[in-house]
Structure 1
């Protein structure tokens, strides 16, 4: 009997060793295997346990905003005429047989008088007049002076209509894409977006980009109202594009879901990232092994490790949720674009897989043996 038990025990141990050596399926590397990738061992990654100091350095994210060229540009004067603008003229004359006014009427209207590429307009009997750079009031004075030499006391009104002289193109996730003139109600970015029907995506993740010549700047839509300085003045030829936030992170391992996850807000903490994919898998996850993989720029890496490096470095952040204040550290750790959040399996999960595999294997062996005995007995 004892020899039979010893034989069964030896068989079980042999089966365990065989199954373990074969490599059972798993969701990714173990905690120990990740630590083996450290520069202190056989890898090329810097592995750092997250605390308040690490959070202070690593949570610095690239900020959106406009450069000085955008911020220092003053508001375009709505009364300044530019090439391509369209003017409306009305002329009154005090004689029955006027130069421009038809017989029996006291006024004539000249609609859609466009300023040519050189900045001039043509008015009958007044000739060619430089309009670009002048205000409607100054143009009125010039026309009145020239007509006054030919008809007594003419009265002139000059109106600036919506032309294509100073325009901005607005595209992307807005209510109405199009080309809009810069007028009194649309001289700043927020005013122009309102003219285009507002943003058509969630305001919290709406990103507004302005291109002016060779320069480009971006800002969050909400910042236009939270920070008045971000509401820049527009210039002729500006291109405005509104799009939803394109940032994302990847969740892998023992989480509720393994997928590429878009940012749902401007800032996401490690706790929020885990919650977005259904939290830790309660039957598999190791709360001491939550890792964030990231490529850090040179300047941030040097602050983290206290030594000089060259170029972008691989950094692995370790979040142990079982440590004192571990949840607070995870709550304060900011996830960045292209991060990989990986949760390791608890050690017993792999052990259970080995036992289950061995049990199944031994059961299959027993079934075969019983079948063979049955055949032999027949």
Structure 2
């Protein structure tokens, strides 16, 4: 009985191993390089497989263009003392008589501490009536009040001070140290100065984006470009809303890499080489450096340019191939730009699958041997 079990053990093990390999039952991280090529349009698939070269890197080097529109850039600086609706003014009036229109008998000075400019741009001053203040300067308002009062009291002296008010404020929110509503004053009439007055940004400057909303207009710029391009450090207007937020672009890394995850951009531009390094590089025990793929839905214009065609309509599925073993492979990976929602997939090296086959084979023989031994033991018991 024992010899019969032993005689059938090895053929059964070989049969199990063959079934395992034939049925693709071995674990793996994803499709092989051959399977990806088999899904190309050239082989009746639904994606274009393109080998990356210098021409392809130039055609695909498209990054989101951020910058303020001309309407924002052409807005001049507000005058440091220009009065707006909602501002608050401080008034002091001196009269050259003991018993004046406004002052009492003991003093010839009258202080109107806080006079707010209404929505129509006017203020009310006793005996002077409604005065148009919005669009004027404190000096201009002083002259108007003086002219009104001197018709009723001799040689009045008027002082007008502009205080911070609601009409000249901006709202700052998002990733800043101090969110809130801030007045536009002489030192904070530009975007960078206003952000600084709010404590500065609270995220790395490399990924910070600034959005300014003015009425029904909105525009966005990279934070670092405020200092790189002076025209982007725009003048502010009352009612502006400023939003500071981190770049939301990300890519997905899969396959034989150091980590498989969705990764956010850490810089304004990101190359394939930097993206691979960001997830820990290629897996030294499993990766095939000749099979680095970048999967992307490419806009029609770029797809036609990459493929040298003019007939493609709509976005196209493109699979870009990088071979890091070629003499210029690393340079091409360094120059090839990664874009938002890209997928980087690294295939396994062929020996990895062979290692798994051998592991499965030796494991199967060991398991079958154990079964044979157990069977022999049971046969001996009976």
TM-score, normalised on structure 2? 0.93
Partner in structure 2 of residue 209 of structure 1: 211
What's the RMSD between the two structures over aligned residues? 1.9
Are the equivalent residues in 1 in contact too, given 2:10–2:368 (CA < 8 A)? no
Q: How does 1:149-298 map to 2 (within 5 A)?
A: 149-298=151-300
Q: Report the counterpart of residue 19 of structure 2 in structure 1.
A: 18
Q: Which residue number in structure 1 is paired with residue 320 of structure 2? A: 317
Gaps of 5+ in 1: 1-6
Q: How far did 1:372 drift?
A: 2.2
- 1:373 Cα deviation (Å)? 2.6
Flag structure 2 segments of 5+ consecutive residues without an equivalent.
1-7
Distance 1:172 1:345 in 2: 42
Distance 1:329 1:113 in 2: 67
Q: Name the residue aligned to 2:60.
A: 58
Q: Deviations over 1:311-362 (max 9, x none)?
A: 1111111110001110011111121111111110001111211221122112
Distance in 2 of aligned mates of 1:216 and 1:197: 23
Question: Quick one: distance in 2 between partners of 1:37 and 1:371?
Answer: 47
Q: Which residue in the other structure is 2:3 paired with?
A: none
CA contact (8 A) 1:170 1:239 kept: yes
- Which residue pairs with 1:364 in the alignment? 367
**How far 1:291 sits from its partner (Å)?**
0.8
Q: Distance in 2 between matches of 1:319 and 1:372?
A: 53
Partner of 2:32: 30
TM-superposed CA distance for 1:283, in Å, is 0.6
Q: Show the counterpart of 2:348.
A: 345
What does residue 4 of structure 1 align with? Answer: none
**CA deviations over 1:78-110 (Å, ceiling 9, x no partner):** 322221111111112222222223333343221
* 1:15-60: CA deviation from partner (whole Å, max 9, x where unpaired): 4431112221110111111111211112221211111111111121
SS in 1 for 2:145: helix
Residue 13 of structure 1 and its aligned partner are, at CA, apart by 5.8
Q: Which string of whole-angstrom CA distances, capped at 9 and with x for unpartnered residues, describes residues 182-212 of structure 1? A: 2222221111111211111111211111112
Task: Give the distance between the partners of 2:283 and 2:377, measured in 1 at CA.
Answer: 45
Question: Which residue number corresponds to residue 146 of structure 1?
Answer: 148
Which stretch shows the higher mean deviation, 38-47 or 340-349? 38-47
Judge conservation of contact 1:207–1:242 (CA < 8 Å) in 2.
Answer: yes
What residue is the counterpart of 2:376 in the other structure? 373
Write out the 4+ residue segments of structure 1 that deviate beyond 6 Å after TM superposition: 7-12
> Per-residue displacement from partner, 1:203-251 (whole Å, max 9, x unpaired)?
1211111112222211111111111111111222221110112111111
**Does the Cα contact within 8 Å between 2:9 and 2:369 map onto a contact in 1?**
no
Kindly indicate whether the alpha-carbon contact (under 8 Å) linking 2:205 and 2:224 is maintained by their aligned counterparts in 1: yes
Say if 1:186 and 1:195, in contact at 8 Å, map to a contact too. yes
Tell me which of 107, 112, 124 is aligned to 2:126: 124
How far residue 11 of structure 1 moved from its aligned partner, in angstroms, is 6.5
Q: TM-score, normalised by structure 1?
A: 0.94
Shift of 1:367: 1.8
Q: Secondary structure at the match of 1:362?
A: helix
Q: Which residue of 1 aligns with 2:105?
A: 103
Provide the rounded CA distance (Å) in 2 between the counterparts of 1:12 and 1:325: 46
Give the Cα–Cα distance (whole angstroms) in 1 for the partners of residues 296 and 362 of structure 2.
40
Tell which deviates more after alignment, 278-287 or 105-114. 105-114
Separation (CA, whole Å) in 2 of partners of 1:161 and 1:214: 28
CA-CA distance at 1:376 after TM superposition: 3.1
Distance 1:302 1:74 in 2: 43
2:13–2:368 Cα contact (<8 Å) kept = no
Q: Secondary structure at the match of 2:93?
A: strand
The count of aligned residue pairs is: 373
